[in-house]
Amino acid sequence: MEKRITTPLTLEQVKDLKCGDSVLISGVIYTARDAAHKRLCELIAQGKELPFEVKDSVIYYVGPAPAKGSQVIGSAGPTTSYRMDAYSPALIALGQRGMIGKGKRSPEVVEAMKQHGAVYFGAIGGAGALLSRCIKKAEVIAYEDLGAEALRRLEVEDLPAFVIIDCEGNNLYETGRKEYLESVGQVK
Amino acid sequence: MREIDAKDITEQVKRLCMEANSYLPEDIKERICRSEQEEPWELAKNILGIIRENYQIAEENYVPVCQDTGMACVFLEIGQDVHINGNLEEAVNEGVRQGYTEGCLRKSVVRDPLDRVNTKDNTPALIYYDIVPGDGLKLTVAPKGFGSENMSQIKMLKPSDGIQGVKDFILKVVEDAGPNPCPPIVVGVGIGGTFDKAALLAKKALMRSTNVRNASPLYAALEEEMLQKINSLGIGPQGVGGRTTALAVNIEQMPTHIAGLPVAVNINCHVTRHKTVEL
């Protein structure tokens, strides 16, 4: 059963999302990878305003391929999230509610998620051609010099993802694997 | 002496960059489909279905399977009776430049590992030259994504660690990687040689069709055994649990020093891309 969610993502919505849920995400989300995160955190450290409203926002870790022909955006699947671990707690403390990526997160990120109420979604890594079809509008709003790594505002419709880590710290990478191994009679 | 024009090499590299990024090799597609059919865990099966649908969309629309269109690894096997007219290295880089620009592929290369300024045309390519007998020229382009490259490891084992040490290390690398390299993965293993050669063997192992086992019965059995062991770890597609953690294990080996047992494990995601042409 898929849960449909629309951004901005409120704390109430976040509390309703449980590890293992399949979700379809719609609304405005922002893209940022390592280089953009570094700049955002420099702005936070200097007490300056950020290029978008962080409170209740969802950031998608993606560096899309260039649009081809009539495409809105090129292939756009998730990049590996751990590279953003150094930066995420500062953004979560400012009210960022959702992250879309793939792969493990650090204990510091999970702690910030529990403390402030945030959720980590996994999109399917390597499914960039399919995922790009859920992006209906894309514009660069900052750091154009970073090319694929620029900060973009995306409007998405029914972007498929899974709740990997919920705001209580439950982790699908641990529970899913354990349940599968138990189902085949192997105990980890 | 056969003459080959550098311009022809540029044209071929350009074409291979674009095609390799949109069309997965047949053996990889077959393995994704077979895994989807055989996967017992529901969420894992659904994910494999989406992965299949994704490469079909890429193929039908001639768009990249994955946004990480990689660093262009270019392997040249040049016959010793061939003469190239023009600058070979520049010809390859020009092919990459044109392929990545005209093909709307992502430019993912920075000019320096520390100052990190994007070169904006995905050059330079990583070029490997082998001189072989004859007057042919075999050209392979393998765009390598870094989500999986970052999860690769190398270890200088002791001879006393033996085959068990090799098995343990391969499993450790896959376990450490977990969900990060976009499983299901293809595991390339290089055993022997020197520190650098083991790594290159592991990369070359990823170029071999996953339907072809190592010619040595010992290593062919090791490939099968490690695939079975990796698919018993339970990591599953995208790390959400399930049987399909790896699609294949390919091993390459070569002579080494009496004191050493180098082992390199190069991980590739399910978007294992390579395309070859013979000129």
User: Is there a domain that residue A41 lies in?
Assistant: yes
Q: What is the DSSP letter of B233?
A: S
Residues B122 and B187 in one domain: no
pLDDT of residue A188: 57
User: Given this model, what pLDDT does residue A80 score?
Assistant: 97
**For residue A3, what pLDDT band results from cuts at 50, 70 and 90?**
very high
Distance from CA of B242 to the nearest CA of A (A): 6
Element (H, E) at A39: helix A34-45
- One domain, residues B8 and B139: yes
CB proximity A184 to B under 8 Å? yes
What pLDDT score was predicted for residue A187? Answer: 65
Q: Do B63 and A162 touch (CB under 8 A)?
A: no
B168 shares its domain with B231: yes
Q: Indicate if B14 and B123 belong to the same structural domain.
A: yes
For residue B242, report the phi and psi dihedrals to the nearest 5 degrees.
140, 175
Find where tokens 């962080």 sit: A54
Tell me which chain B residue has its CA closest to the CA of residue A128. B66
Look at residue B143 and give its three-state secondary structure: strand
Give pLDDT tens digits for A40-81: 999 999 999 999 999 999 999 999 999 999 999 999 999 999
B261 pLDDT more than 80: yes
Q: Does A158 touch chain B (CB under 8 A)?
A: no
What pLDDT does B187 receive? 98
What is d(CA A2, CA A23) in angstroms, rounded to the nearest whole number? 5
Among A176, A61, A68, A28, residue whose Cα is nearest residue B235: A176
**Nearest of A59, A45, A44, A47 to residue A8 by alpha carbon:** A59
Q: Residue B99 falls within a domain, yes or no?
A: yes
Count of A–B CB contacts within 8 Å? 161
CA distance, residue A166 to nearest chain B CA (Å): 14
Instruction: Single out the residue in B144, B173, B206 at which a domain terminates.
Output: B144
- CB-closest option in B40, B178, B232 to A104: B178
The residue segments making up the domain with residue A22 are 2-183
Which runs of consecutive H residues, i.e. helices, occur in B68-216?
Answer: 88-102, 146-149, 162-177, 195-205
Please report residues of B whose CB lies closer than 8 A to that of A102: 147, 179-180, 182, 238
Please report, for the domain that includes residue A112, its CATH number: 3.20.130.10
User: B157 and B257 share a domain?
Assistant: yes
pTM for the full model? 0.96
A187 touches chain B (CB under 8 A): no
Q: Which among B60, B61, B67, B68 is the top mutation candidate for probing chain A, defined by the most A β-carbons within 10 Å of its own β-carbon?
A: B67
Q: A188 in a domain, yes or no?
A: no
pLDDT band at A186 (very low <50, low <70, confident <90, very high): confident
Q: Assess whether B6 and B121 both reside in one domain.
A: yes
Q: Tell whether B221 and B263 lie within a shared domain.
A: yes
What per-residue confidence (pLDDT) applies to B162? 98
Q: How far is CA B216 from the centre of its chain?
A: 21
Percent with pLDDT over 90 in chain B? 100
Kindly tell me if the per-residue pLDDT of B7 is higher than 90.
yes
- Report how far residue A139's alpha carbon sits from residue A149's, in angstroms, rounded to the nearest whole number: 13
Contact A75 B147 (CB under 8 A): no
Q: Which domain holds residue B99?
A: 2-21+65-144
For residue A74, the chain B residues in CB contact (below 8 A) are 63-64, 67, 104, 106
The yes-or-no verdict on residue B37 having pLDDT over 60 is yes
| Same domain as B128, residue B173 | no
- What's the number of domains chain B is made of? 2
Q: Comparing A1-5, A7-11, A167-171, B83-87, which segment has the lowest mean pLDDT?
A: A1-5
Both B163 and B135 in one domain: the answer is: no
Residue B234 CB-density burial (10 A; 0-12 exposed, 13-18 middle, 19+ buried):
buried
How many domains in chain A?
1
The pLDDT of residue A9 is above 60: yes
Structural domain contains residue B33: no
In-domain check, residue B60: no
Percent over 70 (pLDDT), chain A:
98
Instruction: Give the whole-angstrom CA distance, residue A187 versus residue A185.
Output: 6
Q: Which of B144, B160, B191 is the last residue of a domain?
A: B144
Q: pLDDT grade, residue B259 (50/70/90)? A: very high
A15 Cα to chain B: minimum distance (Å): 21
Nearest CA in chain A to B106: A65
Which residue spans within B113-245 are E strands per DSSP?
126-132, 137-144, 153-157, 185-193
Mean pLDDT score across all residues of chain A: 96
